[in-house]
């Protein structure tokens, strides 16, 4: 049976992952409205990945005999101010998720919950990849400096991203 303090941190993370999914879905809607279907595709896939992450936590907590407690998801922003600012927000959000995963790892260490530490390691590694990917996109966007042709090229590139379920 999983310790209550660990179960609470996992339930909190489930909420954060679903919030992330809603946030990226909202950003996808913004890009659709701006006519940037490739950027919208990238965000929509990101939203699905975050939902997958929530399900991983959900399934793990159930496997360990914990009780999943779904909570209300906070309202996400719906208005954004350009491509660079959207991705800056994504990076800031991913850094917050990284900090949350690290805090969960600390809780698991303190509880001497080796199974949860092992489970969380995948998320630690995933967050390194998430931040690096978003950082690369931001660097590319900044290099383009608002050039329409460059934006269209990036839109095509991001439009080629394909969803791969991780659950």
Averaged pLDDT of the chain: 96
Residues 6+ apart with CB under 8 A from 137: 87, 154, 158
User: Does 146 map to a domain?
Assistant: yes
User: Does 167 map to a domain?
Assistant: no
User: Does 85 map to a domain?
Assistant: yes
- What average pLDDT does the segment 126-150 reach? 93
Indicate whether 166 pLDDT > 90: no
Count of domains for the chain: 1
User: Does 166 map to a domain?
Assistant: no
The first and second tokens of residue 134, run together, are 């978003």
pTM across the whole model? 0.94
Give dist(CA 150, CA 54) in Å, integer. Answer: 34
* Structure-derived torsion over alpha carbons of residues 39, 42, 45, 49, reported in degrees to the nearest 10: -130
Instruction: Tell me the pLDDT band of 94, cut-offs 50, 70 and 90.
Output: very high
User: Does 52 map to a domain?
Assistant: yes
Q: Compute CA distances 155 → 35, 40, 42, 51, whole Å.
A: 10, 9, 9, 23
Within 10 Å of residue 4's Cβ, how many Cβ atoms?
11
User: Does 117 map to a domain?
Assistant: yes
Note the pLDDT of residue 167.
58
H helix intervals, the chain:
4-33, 37-63, 83-110, 114-144, 148-159
The first and second tokens of residue 27, run together, are 């950003």
Nearest to 75 by CA among 132, 23, 150, 15: 23
The first and second tokens of residue 68, run together, are 């999943």
Domain CATH for 107? 1.20.1260.10
3-state secondary structure of 167: coil
**Tokens 């969960």 — which residue?**
104
User: Does 47 map to a domain?
Assistant: yes
- What average pLDDT does the segment 50-75 reach? 97
Please give the residue range of the domain that contains residue 126: 4-159
User: Does 113 map to a domain?
Assistant: yes
């Amino acid at each position: 049976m999983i310790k209550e303090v660990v179960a609470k941190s996992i339930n909190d993370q489930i909420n954060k992952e679903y919030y992330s999914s809603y946030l990226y879905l909202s950003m996808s809607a913004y890009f659709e409205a701006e006519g940037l279907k490739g950027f919208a595709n990238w965000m929509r896939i990101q939203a699905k990945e975050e939902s997958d992450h929530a399900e991983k936590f959900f399934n793990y907590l159930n496997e360990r005999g914990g009780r999943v407690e779904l909570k209300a998801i906070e309202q996400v922003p719906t208005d954004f101010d350009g491509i660079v600012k959207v991705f800056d927000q994504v990076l800031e959000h991913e850094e917050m998720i990284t900090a949350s995963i690290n805090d969960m790892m600390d809780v698991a260490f303190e509880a001497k919950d080796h199974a949860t530490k092992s489970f969380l390691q995948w998320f630690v590694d995933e967050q390194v990849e998430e931040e690096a990917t978003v950082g690369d996109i931001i660097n590319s966007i900044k290099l383009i400096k608002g050039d329409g042709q460059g934006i269209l090229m990036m839109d095509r590139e991001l439009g080629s991203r394909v969803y791969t379920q991780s659950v």
